[in-house]
A and B are shown apart, each in its own frame.
Chain A
Amino acid sequence: MAEEFFIQGNEACAKGAIAAGCRFFAGYPITPSTEIAETLARELPKVGGSFVQMEDEIASAGAIIGGSWGGAKSMTATSGPGISLMQENIGYAFMTETPIVFVNVQRGSPSTAQPTMAAQGDMMQARWGSHGDYEPIALSPSSVQEFFDFTIKAFNLAEEYRVPVFVMADEVIGHMREKIVVEDNIEIVPRKRPEKVDGHIPFENIENGTTPMPAFGDGFNIHVTGLTHDERGYPDTNNPETHDTLIQRICDKILNNKDKICSIKSENCEDADIVIVSYGAPVRSVVEAVRRCDRKVGYIKIDTPWPFPDEQIAELTANAKDVLVVEMNLGQMYYEVDRACKKNSNVHLLGVIGGLLPTPDEILEKIDEIGGN
Chain B
Amino acid sequence: MRTEIRICGFGGQGIILAGIILGKSASLFDEKEAVQTQSYGPEARGGASKCEVVISDGKVDYPKVQSPDILVAMSNEALMKYIVDLKDEGTLIVDPGTTDVEDVKDFIEEHNIKVYEAPATKTAIDEIGLKIVANIVMVGAITKITKVISKEAAIKAIEASVPKGTEEKNIKAFEAGYALAE
Instruction: Point out residues on A near B: beta carbons under 8 Å.
Output: 4-6, 31, 115-116, 172, 175-179, 281, 284-285, 287-288, 291, 357, 359-361
Alpha-carbon gap, A359 to B28, bound state (A) = 27
How far does the Cβ of A7 sit from chain B's closest Cβ, in whole Å? Answer: 9
Alpha-carbon gap, A284 to B64, bound state (A) = 10
Pairs A-B, 3 closest by C-beta atoms: A288-B61, A288-B62, A179-B27
Q: Which of A6, A179, A288 has the most CB of B within 10 A?
A: A6
Which B residue sits closest to A179, measured CB to CB? B27
Q: Is A172 in contact with B24, judged by CB distance below 8 angstroms?
A: no
Q: Does B112 contact A (CB under 8 A)?
A: no
Q: Is A115 in contact with B63, judged by CB distance below 8 angstroms?
A: no
* 23 pairs from A and B in contact (CB 8 Å cutoff): A4-B28, A6-B20, A6-B36, A116-B40, A116-B42, A172-B63, A175-B37, A175-B38, A177-B20, A177-B23, A177-B37, A178-B27, A178-B60, A178-B63, A179-B28, A179-B33, A281-B63, A284-B61, A284-B62, A288-B61, A288-B62, A357-B64, A360-B62
How far does the Cβ of B4 sit from chain A's closest Cβ, in whole Å? Answer: 13
Q: Is B37 in contact with A6, judged by CB distance below 8 angstroms?
A: no
Knowing A6-B27, A288-B62, the reply to whether A176 touches B36 (Cβ < 8 A) is yes
How far does the Cβ of A155 sit from chain B's closest Cβ, in whole Å? Answer: 26
Which residues of chain A have C-beta atoms less than 8 A from B23's C-beta?
6, 177-178
Interface of A is mostly: mixed
Which residues of chain B have C-beta atoms less than 8 A from A291's C-beta?
61
How far does the Cβ of B86 sit from chain A's closest Cβ, in whole Å? Answer: 18
Q: B1-33 interface mask toward A, CB cutoff 8 Å, 1 = contact, 0 = none?
A: 000000000000000000010011001100001
Q: Does B66 contact A (CB under 8 A)?
A: yes
Q: Does B41 contact A (CB under 8 A)?
A: yes
Knowing A176-B37, A178-B27, the reply to whether A284 touches B63 (Cβ < 8 A) is yes
Knowing A6-B20, A115-B42, the reply to whether A172 touches B37 (Cβ < 8 A) is yes
How far does the Cβ of B157 sit from chain A's closest Cβ, in whole Å? Answer: 8
Which residues of chain B have C-beta atoms less than 8 A from A178's C-beta?
23, 27, 34-36, 60, 63
Q: Is A177 in contact with B66, judged by CB distance below 8 angstroms?
A: no
6 extra interchain contacts, Cβ-Cβ under 8 A, other than A178-B34, A281-B63, A359-B64?
A6-B23, A6-B34, A116-B42, A179-B28, A288-B62, A360-B62
Which residues of chain A have C-beta atoms less than 8 A from B35's C-beta?
176-178
Which residues of chain B have C-beta atoms less than 8 A from A179's C-beta?
27-28, 33-34
Q: Is A177 in contact with B62, judged by CB distance below 8 angstroms?
A: no
Which A residue sits closest to B20, measured CB to CB? A177
Which residues of chain A have C-beta atoms less than 8 A from B63's C-beta?
172, 176, 178, 281, 284, 357
Which residues of chain B have C-beta atoms less than 8 A from A115's C-beta?
42
Which residues of chain B have C-beta atoms less than 8 A from A357's C-beta?
62-64
Q: B127-145 interface mask toward A, CB cutoff 8 Å, 1 = contact, 0 = none?
A: 0000000000000000000
How far does the Cβ of B105 sit from chain A's closest Cβ, in whole Å? Answer: 30
Alpha-carbon gap, A106 to B23, bound state (A) = 25
Which residues of chain A have C-beta atoms less than 8 A from B27's C-beta?
6, 178-179
How far does the Cβ of A269 sit from chain B's closest Cβ, in whole Å? Answer: 18
Q: Which of B28, B36, B40, B62 has the most CB of A within 10 A?
A: B62
Which residues of chain B have C-beta atoms less than 8 A from A287's C-beta?
61-62
Alpha-carbon gap, A360 to B28, bound state (A) = 27
Which A residue sits closest to B33, measured CB to CB? A179
How far does the Cβ of A239 sit from chain B's closest Cβ, in whole Å? Answer: 52
Alpha-carbon gap, A288 to B63, bound state (A) = 10
Which B residue sits closest to A31, measured CB to CB? B42
Alpha-carbon gap, A42 to B38, bound state (A) = 24
How far does the Cβ of B7 sit from chain A's closest Cβ, in whole Å? Answer: 14
Which residues of chain A have C-beta atoms less than 8 A from B34's C-beta?
6, 178-179
Which A residue sits closest to B24, measured CB to CB? A6
Q: B59-76 interface mask toward A, CB cutoff 8 Å, 1 = contact, 0 = none?
A: 011111010000000000
Which residues of chain B have C-beta atoms less than 8 A from A31's C-beta?
42
